[in-house]
Amino acid sequence: MRFDRWRWFAPVSLALLVAVPLAQAQNVKVVLDEVTDDRVSSEMMSGQLQIQFKLDGTGLDKVVAARAIVKEAKDDKGTNLAKDLKASDFRERNMNGGALDVSLASPARDATSVSVKGSIELFIPSKDPGAMVTIPKAFAKLDKPLTSESLTAAGIKLTPLSAEGYAAQMKKQKLTDKDIEEIRAQGKAHGASEKDIEMAIGLAKAFEEMGAQAPAEGSVILAGPAATFAKIQSIDIIGPDKKPIDIRSKETSTRGESSVMVMKPDSLPAGAALKLTLLTAKSKVSVPFEMKKVELP
């Protein structure tokens, strides 16, 4: 099978559209930073259009994380580039120089420009005292849900697990024939080939085998609904000296509506606390943007 393939990379330095008020009338602008166009000519393959944004303005020192949300995206040939596009996760501001990116569908081969409309969502925990929740002595009782008024108010349900509790949780998440059939059905619905579907099933089985292994000694394990973890921007373990304990690794697995997070801190002293930074409605600020006729490189 023959196909032609292009890959362009072109920095663009156009400040496009928006400035909206933050606290105390501070302004933030969305700046188009880079466009990467990866188009293919074969119908058997699909490329991507990646657009990267940067933020400019005052008050950004209070922004802990941000994400780009694209609501509409079309090329000048009318191709919908945002079909089935999901909102990206929040990215901490110290990552990738503060840049945010979105991956859109591939434009038509003869398209020369795209128009994009959406918003940048800023996470500013200082705007909401309820965004920071600390649970003292969080690991004193394993396999029992954490309780506090703040957690209840935020709709957060978390349980610290023992090694035995983790094994029981992983047993509940074991792949069934029904799960495999759902993977097949979803793959077919999205037009995936049999090879790709089998690869996805193999990957799911591989993750299951990894989860079946006992976590390393000294690990901190948290279980809860996937909806709970979606509300949490960051998790810290706080020692008796009130300082965060370094976490070497952090992995989260999700099956259906349940998630399990395994963290490996440097240490877990008696009386350690758990500090959660939550993505509350009051802590988020939306910055709309609209970019018309952005030239493709």
Q: Tens digit of pLDDT for each residue in 137-160?
A: 999 999 999 998 989 988 999 999
Amino acid identity, residue 273? Answer: A
Strand partners, 20: 28
User: Quick one: average pLDDT of 110-131?
Assistant: 91
Per the model's pLDDT, the better-predicted residue between 18 and 258 turns out to be: 258
Residue 92 CA to residue 99 CA, distance in Å, equals 10
Per the model's pLDDT, the better-predicted residue between 206 and 198 turns out to be: 198
Per the model's pLDDT, the better-predicted residue between 178 and 10 turns out to be: 178
Of 103, 87, 90, the residue nearest 63 (C-alpha): 90
Give pLDDT, residue 211.
56
Per-residue pLDDT tens digits for 29-86:
888 888 887 765 444 445 678 888 888 888 888 999 999 999 999 999 999 988 878 8
Q: Say if residues 60 and 285 touch (Cβ distance below 8 Å).
A: no
Q: Say if residues 194 and 201 touch (Cβ distance below 8 Å).
A: no
Q: Say if residues 62 and 125 touch (Cβ distance below 8 Å).
A: no
Given a cut of 70, is residue 88 above it in pLDDT?
Answer: yes
Q: Say if residues 289 and 118 touch (Cβ distance below 8 Å).
A: yes
Q: 60: how many CB neighbours lie within 10 A of its CB?
A: 16
Give pLDDT, residue 11.
37
- Max Cα-Cα span within the chain: 64
Amino acid identity, residue 138? Answer: A
Give pLDDT, residue 208.
63
Q: 291: how many CB neighbours lie within 10 A of its CB?
A: 20
User: Quick one: average pLDDT of 7-16?
Assistant: 37
Supply 283's token pair. 């802590």
Domains in the chain (CATH in brackets) are 8-125+283-295 (2.60.40), 129-279 (no CATH)
Residue 281 CA to residue 221 CA, distance in Å, equals 27
Residue 277 CA to residue 232 CA, distance in Å, equals 6
Q: 278: how many CB neighbours lie within 10 A of its CB?
A: 22
